[in-house]
Structure 1
Amino acid sequence: MKRQAIFVLAFVTAFVGNTAARADSLASALTSAYNNPGLLEQNRALLRAADEDVAQSVAATRPVIAWSASADRSGTNATGEWVRTNSATLSISGSLTLYDGGVNRLAIDAQKEVVLSTRQTLRGIEQTVLLNAVQAYMAVVREREFVRLRESNVRVITQEFRAAQDRFEVGEVTRTDVALAEARLAAARSLLAAAQGSLAQSVESYRLAIGRAPGAVTAVSPAPVSQSVAEAKAFAVRNNPSVLEGQHSVAAAELSIRRAEATLKPTVTLDGFLATDEDSDESAQIGLSVGSTIYAGGQISSQIRQLRANRDASRAGLHLTQLSIEQEVGNAYASLQVARASRQASDQQISAARVAFEGVREEATLGSRTTLDVLNAEQELLDAEANRISAQADEVIASYALLSAMGLLTAEHLRLPVQQYDPTEYYNLAKNAPTYDSEQGEALDRVLEALGRE
């Protein structure tokens, strides 16, 4: 059983150690996370789909031109003989809405607001990806430090155990002291195995968030945050992607109401066609049609009421989002202050605990302290060092969480060396609803082909 445990520890250590050959800064990890295909690519595609809704709304304001061709063969038998007749017709028709009360124009404006809302959703996803990367990076930093600390702890307690054995052999301590040291050594080895397991799990989380295994991670300083909590909250309410997304959703809901109300107005349509048959006889027609709905069983009125209810829900949701963002900023700010204070206190605790441990160990060699006193002093030093490691990681994570709540955890603000995705590039090509054979349509095809190869 003991040999099996040693084999498992060796395997975990080798697994973790193989990832540490390459230097890996937080900036490089964030860069990899941004470029890692997955959540960002999915939401960029959803944004392009929303861009196409604008193009389709624009297309609804343009003429619809269609052609048709038919060929028939018929026969009659009125005199006892079949008389067969062949006919063929080729026609082209067109239709254009001249006036619809603003329905189509309001549809375009509403879809534009949806696009702006979806852009903010993508921006929020970008922040989520980068914050997940920060958390994964700091988890690896923390767990590697814990493993290092536990390894050092095992070495120290092994020395204490051997010293207790030597003192027992010369009659300075009892068997109880040796047993205490042996039990503490077994516990230290167990905690080392647990720390190595946690590190292996952190490596897997890192791989998921960033797209590759971690290298030799380096120490990280907290992100600079100079605003007070009140200033941070005010800035977040103006800049957080969730708030801006909600504002555009409310605007889109307002336009949808106006569009539904506009359907009650009359519609004017221009229609025409040109046809020719097998005898080259031609016919043509052009005309205007005007009409509106008089009664639809209450459907339109119900739709308007429904859209107003949805608008009210969007407004309430926006208010709740603002409150949630303010709370998120306050929580992140409080976590940052707590982690900072904890780190400072841990530094002082470590300094005092180290002096105490060295003093107790020296006194034990003189016979005025027991083995248990030495082990307890070493445990206090270990706990202090572990608290500092956790506080340092928590401080970094809280600082970046505060940036995220303020809407600043983006590749642009962090100045990451990446090719940033421009959400307007595809929109500008697609918004006018180009056809396949147009210059813009061909440009869109090239963009989509390039995205498919990435």
Structure 2
Amino acid sequence: MAKRMKLAGLAVALGLVIAVPMARAETLADAMIGAYNTSGLLEQNRAVLRAADEDVAQAMSSLRPVISWSADATRQFGTTRSASTANNIVPAVSNTISASLIAELTVFDNGQSKLAIETTKEAVLGTRQQLVSVEQQVLLSAVEAYLEVRRAIENVALRENNVRLIAQELRAAQERFEVGEVTRTDTSLAEARLAAARSQLAAAQGALTVAREQYLAVVGRLPGQLDPLRTLPDLPGSVDAAKGIALRNHPQVKSVQHQVAAAELSILRAEAAMKPSVRLSGRLSVTEGIDTERFTRGGSIGIEAGGPIYQGGRLTSLVRQSMANRDSARGQLHQVIDQIAQNVGNAYAQLRIAQASLESTDRQVRAASVAFEGVREEAALGARTTLDVLNAEQELLNARSARISAEVDEGVAAYRILSTLGRLTATDLRLNVQQYDPVTYYNLVKDGPIQKSQQGQQLDRVLKSLGKN
């Protein structure tokens, strides 16, 4: 009976073990998804883009009628003398109320309004590319935070193992000292190394705490069990090919190109402002006397043409300023192109350094492992001292630590190359996230919807979903 109960209990225990699913380790993609979904920096720049979208709506309004109203109540008072008052001075008081409806429409302005719309559209396109740059920055920060936690975890495990090994060597040295095989110097050396190893372990644990906090700040949660980085992203085979891709696709290059286009349009706007414009205006008004039976109603419609003659050199100064801004934007474009090309070259150099370091540290670890095992065996036979064993163990520790760093550096360098190519985005990485669509908001506001229109109601729903209402 007791045996059957034990077997039944074992079966229940095994059933519970099987029923409890193993916790899935987090992957690098999970970290990037968390960063994308929780980044305050992304939210900030999305709002910046929406503000730029509104500039298009405001520019578009210049092509449409402007309708306004005004109302006033007036009390006039004073004295009067006329033949009707027998040349006597008498007080005169009147109270009137009037209301007006005014409409204005720009008929012709030499393309100023259309150029303003095109300028703001270029600004929107440039701001969209800046948002892509921020997205790349956020995802690269997630990669770095993830791999730094991996580096810190492996260093802690390495230091813990180091403490265990040195503690074993200390015990062995003490046993040999008790039988007179070694001197007090050997045990003291082992004690000193053990104290140093514990100090380094504490430092590694502190570095892990710092890395976890950085991960929390970037990803939005503390890291759990993290999978090692098993594969690197696909990269162009040569630096020249990578530079060509980067100069075509990098969002910073595209953003400045749109800035140059906007600056070119600004010159045309400044030149158009020096030419005449035509405006159509209309007015309806009603005036009623409060203390009399006076009542008037009427309206007016007219067309007005005009243009500047002399404004103290302001308009020509605006043209020159626009040209200077255009030249500045062109210079910035050349600077960005050079910087992006340099970044690509630097990133590839860092990757090659990391790969060479990883290859050499692999050989170093294998050789140091063999050396350590051999020195330890020789020490057991009395052919080596405790110091020799400790030095061999330290060499192995340094080799393993260098390999950990090289592996992390290789992963960071590979994803930094993706960033310099403009391909470190949620779309290119196929991250399972609800991506922000910058076109949706733009399409809703570009025509300047009013609050009560159908388009305005759709905009209200979008703003509510964004948490802005």
TM-score by length of 2: 0.90
Tell me which amino acid in the other structure corresponds to 2:166: I
Among 32, 50, 53, the residue aligned to 1:30: 32
In structure 2, the residue matched to 1:47 is 49
Is the contact made by 1:236 and 1:406 (CA closer than 8 Å) also made in structure 2? yes
| C-alpha contact (below 8 Å) 1:222/1:397 kept by paired residues | no
Code of the residue aligned with 2:102 in structure 1: it is S
Contact 2:39 2:218 in 1 (8 A): no
Q: Select the residue among 179, 185, 202 that pairs with 2:194.
A: 185
Map 1:297-336; keep pairs closer than 5 Å: 297-336=312-351
Pairs within 5 Å for 1:141-220:
141-220=150-229
1:24 is displaced (CA, Å) by 1.6
Which 10-residue stretch deviates more, 21-30 or 148-157? 21-30
Query: Residues 199-223 of structure 1: CA distance to partner in whole angstroms, max 9, x if unpaired?
Result: 1000111111111111111101322
- Counterpart-to-counterpart distance in 2, 1:81 and 1:313: 72
Amino acid across the alignment from 1:408: R
> Which residue pairs with 1:12 in the alignment?
none
Is 1:63 aligned to residue 78 of structure 2?
no
The correspondence of residues 360-379 of structure 1 with structure 2, limited to 5 A, is: 360-379=375-394
For 1:23, what is the secondary structure of its paired residue?
coil
Instruction: Summarize the alignment of residues 247-396 of structure 1 with structure 2, pairs less than 5 Å apart.
Output: 247-278=257-288, 279-396=294-411
Per-residue deviation, 1:61: 1.3
| Partner secondary structure for residue 101 of structure 2 | strand
Per-residue deviation at 1:260? 0.4
> Per-residue deviation at 1:285?
1.1
Structure 2: any 5+ residue segments left out of the alignment? 1-22, 81-87, 289-293
Q: One-letter code of the match for 1:29?
A: A
Q: In the alignment, is the contact (CA less than 8 A) between 1:26 and 1:137 conserved in 2? A: yes
The Cα of 1:443 is off from its aligned counterpart by: 1.2
Q: Which residue of 2 is the match for residue 236 of structure 1?
A: 246
Residue deviations 1:307-366, cap 9 Å, x none?
111111111111111111111111111111111121122111111111110010000000
How far 1:80 sits from its partner (Å)?
5.9
Stretch of structure 1 that moved more, 192-201 or 300-309: 300-309
SS in 2 for 1:24: coil
Q: For the residues of structure 1 that align with 2:429 and 2:214, how far apart are their CA atoms?
A: 22
**1:164-183 CA deviation, whole Å, 9 max, x = no partner?**
11111111111111111111
Name the CA distance, whole Å, in 1 between partners of 2:408 and 2:286.
80
1:108 aligns with 2:98: no
Q: CA deviation at 1:300?
A: 1.3
Distance 2:274 2:363 in 1: 75
Task: Find the aligned partners of 1:285 and 1:113 in 2 and give their Cα distance.
Answer: 40
TM-score computed with the length of structure 1 as normaliser? 0.93
Partners of 2:79 and 2:253 in 1: CA distance? 77
Q: Distance in 1 between matches of 2:32 and 2:97?
A: 67
The one-letter amino acid of 2:244's match is A
> What's the CA shift for 1:374?
0.6
Is the 1:161–1:178 Cα contact (8 Å) retained in structure 2? yes
Query: What code does the residue aligned with 2:188 have?
Result: A
DSSP 3-state at the match of 2:63: coil
Q: Which whole-Å CA distance do the structure 2 matches of 1:264 and 1:453 have between them?
A: 41
Residues 397-412 of structure 1: matches in 2 within 5 Å? 397-412=412-427
User: Which residue type is aligned with residue 361 of structure 1?
Assistant: R
Provide the C-alpha distance between the structure 2 equivalents of 1:58 and 1:217, rounded to a whole number of angstroms: 51
Rg larger in structure: 2
User: Displacement, 1:77?
Assistant: 4.1
Task: Assess if the C-alpha contact under 8 Å between 1:48 and 1:426 holds in 2.
Answer: yes
1:437 paired residue among 433, 444, 452: 452
Report how far residue 224 of structure 1 moved.
Answer: 2.2
Q: Distance in 2 between matches of 1:75 and 1:430?
A: 50
Tell me, what secondary structure is at the counterpart of 2:72?
A: strand
Whole-Å Cα distance in 1 between the matches of residues 200 and 241 of structure 2? 43
Q: Answer with 352-361 or 64-73: which moved more.
A: 64-73
Q: Distance in 2 between matches of 1:43 and 1:34?
A: 13
Structure 1 Cα separation of the partners of residues 70 and 236 of structure 2: 69
SS in 1 for 2:466: helix
* C-alpha displacement of 1:22: 6.8
State how far apart, in whole Å, the 2-side matches of 1:443 and 1:330 are.
47
Which letter maps to 1:452?
Answer: G
- Provide the rounded CA distance (Å) in 2 between the counterparts of 1:377 and 1:76: 111
- Bigger Cα displacement from structure 2, 80-89 vs 108-117: 80-89
Give yes or no for contact 1:411–1:420 (8 Å, CA) kept in 2: yes
Distance (whole Å) between structure 2 residues aligned to residue 85 and residue 323 of structure 1: 76
The aligned amino acid for 1:61 is L
Give the match's secondary structure for 2:392. helix
**Further displaced range: 202-211 or 47-56:** 202-211
Aligned counterpart in structure 2 of residue 245 of structure 1, from 235, 240, 255: 255
- Partner SS state of residue 60, structure 1: helix
Q: Deviations over 1:77-118 (max 9, x none)?
A: 444654532322221111111111111110000000000000
Distance of aligned partners of 1:255 and 1:405 in 2 relative to their CA distance in 1, 3 Å threshold: same
Query: In 2 relative to 1, CA 296–147 (structure 1 residues): closer, same or farther, beyond 3 Å?
Result: same
1:117 pairs with 2:132:
no
Q: Distance in 2 between matches of 1:124 and 1:226?
A: 20
What amino acid is aligned across from residue 58 of structure 2 in structure 1?
Q
Residues 22 and 215 of structure 1 are in contact (CA less than 8 Å); yes or no, is this contact kept in structure 2?
no
In the alignment, the residues of structure 1 paired with residue 451 and residue 295 of structure 2 have an alpha-carbon distance, to the nearest angstrom, of 33
Q: In angstroms, what is the RMSD of aligned CA positions?
A: 1.4
Aligned mate of 1:87, from 71, 96, 118: 96
